[in-house]
Structure 1
């Protein structure tokens, strides 16, 4: 495939039908910053909880005044592993807290300052600490969401060795939103200038390469994509779903219509009446430890 074709296929902003590609990304950042500022003003929160030694290896907890046993929803931000931060991603914080769900947004170091494998390791460390926090507080469970590159990082938790080391009864679900899971096509795009992926590393870091030795039980994985996302992202979501069905007992593929694109899928989680917001909250409320 021509490099120009790959560049467009792996540029989600090119496929939205709302506005120009540059406008949709600019608006997304502004909406995320505003949502985060509102959440920090309107909810009781603890900002910049460290889980690692660097400035970005921190997470924010919203709803710290909720009961200790409250469920927790964790969100890992996107940005192609090289942009964005937790300070621009608290879209659903107020909505979830209003429903009795603590919300945690996780930051991490970015490429090219670190390699992708280091980011994956950081996310596993962050989740280990969050699960320990949940266990100590008596939480009913932890749900982990990821958007775009964050969906890849959330899916990296489907690692048999890592899962065996955690409190598996607390980790309830992965919600993978508009993710990218097979990384080799990125080698021939401009995104690889920061990622510096080579073929072997791209394969090792790809979620589509995972092979779990035994069925994963008591963990639901929801793979979500919008009808106005990139065709490449839509195809990767389908391929991941097929792969997971051979390893995970509870897998759901959700294709959102009505013009949902790569950015509106997470922007709309701020709204109570968005069907995906309702579905996630219902799933959390219906679950027990």
Structure 2
């Protein structure tokens, strides 16, 4: 297979449609199952944990956070900031608390970020909102020990390039080397998702960043995230280990 520049529109659409690569379910069913899993997981988390819901970090309706706190939030504690996916078009912070239980029980706070998805949100707006959410968390919760673990779109090429992570890679300074980057890709993601993950990994490593690439077996684009609700899941364990080293 050549690069994305060599693909037809139909080939590109297939590469960037994760549901078409799932080996578990039909492409329509796997999306419905994913939404159901993350929704039910979030309901369970909110029913059993100390939360601060719909905390505004900006002036727009979509600029709110859901915060899942450890049992004793009086001291300093690590924090995982979760920015939901959904092809910039759907999902929300309201269904993003499912990852909290295995982290909160280990004394780690989880913050689910809300932002305006398309068509209401423009990609530049989304990026600005996420940046504001990070700044808000750092300023508002100074005791939190933050860890660096982290179509209908009307998406012009210049906007995509301006917000592309790989085009924004800069050399790692001594301070930046303290940030450990983990790139995770599902076994049953598309070849294009694998290529981009590998290229981003290589770009960061070449720039001197501490970076690792994890190809997670027996997962697709959906359950690779859903399983974060499980403490024994390999990606959950990697995140916990990264935090313990910080």
Under a length normalisation based on structure 1, what TM-score does the superposition of the two structures give? 0.78
Q: Quote the Cα distance in structure 1 between the aligned partners of 2:245 and 2:169.
A: 30
Alignment of 1:123 onto 2:123? no
Partner of 1:9: 15
Q: Are the counterparts in 1 of residues 45 and 100 from structure 2 also a CA contact under 8 Å?
A: yes
Which ranges of 4 or more aligned residues in structure 1 deviate by more than 4 Å? Answer: none
Deviations 1:86-144 (A, max 9, x none): 11121211111111111111010111212100110000000001112342xx23x22xx
CA gap of 1:210–1:48, structure 2 versus 1, over 3 A, is same
What are the ranges of 5 or more consecutive residues in structure 1 without an aligned counterpart? 143-171, 176-191
Shift of 1:84: 0.8
Q: Quote the Cα distance in structure 1 between the aligned partners of 2:63 and 2:32.
A: 25
Q: Quote the Cα distance in structure 1 between the aligned partners of 2:131 and 2:184.
A: 22
CA gap of 1:205–1:39, structure 2 versus 1, over 3 A, is same
Alignment of 1:231 onto 2:191? yes
Q: Quote the Cα distance in structure 2 between the aligned partners of 1:173 and 1:266.
A: 18
Q: Quote the Cα distance in structure 2 between the aligned partners of 1:250 and 1:211.
A: 13
Shift of 1:70: 1.4
Q: Quote the Cα distance in structure 2 between the aligned partners of 1:275 and 1:213.
A: 30
Shift of 1:228: 0.7
Alignment of 1:207 onto 2:207? no
Q: Are the counterparts in 2 of residues 51 and 125 from structure 1 also a CA contact under 8 Å?
A: yes
Shift of 1:49: 0.4
Partner of 1:284: 243
Deviations 1:176-223 (A, max 9, x none): xxxxxxxxxxxxxxxx22x21222222112112114255332111101
Q: Are the counterparts in 1 of residues 70 and 107 from structure 2 also a CA contact under 8 Å?
A: no
Q: Are the counterparts in 2 of residues 227 and 261 from structure 1 also a CA contact under 8 Å?
A: yes
Bigger shift: 270-279 or 118-127? Answer: 270-279
Under a length normalisation based on structure 2, what TM-score does the superposition of the two structures give? 0.91
Deviations 1:153-195 (A, max 9, x none): xxxxxxxxxxxxxxxxxxx3233xxxxxxxxxxxxxxxx22x2
Which one of 68, 90, 93 corresponds to residue 97 of structure 2?
Answer: 90
Q: Quote the Cα distance in structure 2 between the aligned partners of 1:247 and 1:128.
A: 25
